[in-house]
Amino acid sequence: MQEIIRYQEIDFTLRKMERELNNSASYRGRAQMQQLIKADQATLLKLENTAANLTNQYNKATQLYNEFVSALETLQKKLAEVKNEDLASLANEVKSLAQKGETLENNISAMAGRINATNREIDSILRNIKVNSEKLKAYREACAGEIAKIEPEVKRLKEELIKQKAKVDPKLLAKYAAKKENNIFPVFVKENRGSCGGCRMGIPAGRLSELKNNGMVECENCGRIIYVDEAK
């Protein structure tokens, strides 16, 4: 039993170091910058697609407007050549075409405004990405420094864990791995005054008897393996 407990202690220390590293300001800052950049890149893609569609619509509308202007100029030239009885009809046609052209011109102006606004948004997003990329670089460098600082100890503990693993009963090691896989940690806990050393729930009398006879028993509440402290 003491061999698996020692194995768990080493494993716990490694997990603690990893948790502290992941919770450090540098790691949290790196994760935050990565999320912000990812979100900005997704927004940028949408804005670029919007700008491309607007530009396409703007070009088509401009072409159509130029065709209206050309048609209007042609009609206006005809005004001087038509007979009086046809003048009113042609004048109405010119007026109608001019109104359509004015509406189209207003739409073009509105689209140009939307294109400009979208381009400003794109510029803003690009600036954000640049700033956050610089921050990300700094956070990554800080993370690398933190890793380098603890790397020797992590290496030593991993080597010790491998050596300790060879001393552990394979059956206990299999139980340990299975419990840990189910996010139960620590796996082995001491019995404490008739209660589970993990969740603090009282151990039924029958299970206490089993614990004393077998040296260990699974907690019915949290699933941890309770063992008797042989040092007592």
Q: In the chain, how many domains are there? A: 2
- pLDDT above 70 as % of the chain: 88
Within this chain, do residues 154 and 222 fall inside the same structural domain, yes or no? no
pLDDT at position 105, please?
80
User: What average pLDDT does this structure show over 187-193?
Assistant: 93
Same domain, yes or no: 143 and 176: no
Report field, pTM of the whole predicted structure over 0.85: no
What CATH number is given to the structural domain containing 155? 1.10.287.1490
Average the pLDDT over each of 4-8, 69-73, 192-196 and give the range with the smallest value: 69-73
Most confident of 57-71, 93-107, 132-146: 132-146
Q: Do 80 and 137 reside in the same domain of the chain?
A: yes
Q: Looking at the domain assignment, is residue 4 inside a domain?
A: no
Provide CB contacts within 8 A for 90, sequence distance 6+. Answer: 75, 78, 79, 82
232 within some domain: no
In three state form, how does the secondary structure of 89-131 look?
HHHHHHHHHHHHHHHHHHHHHHHHHHHHHHHHHHHHHHHHHHH
Residues 34 and 137 in one domain: yes
Q: Residue 74 — very low, low, confident or very high, per pLDDT cuts 50/70/90? A: confident
- The whole-number average pLDDT for the span 30-59 is 93
Identify whether residues 67 and 126 lie together within a single domain.
yes
Q: Average pLDDT of the chain?
A: 88
What Rg, from alpha-carbon coordinates, does the chain have? 38
Compute the residue count for the chain. 232
Instruction: Please check whether residues 76 and 188 belong to one and the same domain.
Output: no
| Residues 159 and 176 placed together within one structural domain of the fold | no
Q: Residue 3 pLDDT more than 80?
A: yes
pLDDT above 90: percentage of residues in the chain? 66
Domain housing 102: 10-165
Q: What is the mean pLDDT of residues 117-123?
A: 93
What is the per-residue pLDDT for 81?
A: 64
Position 2 in a domain: no
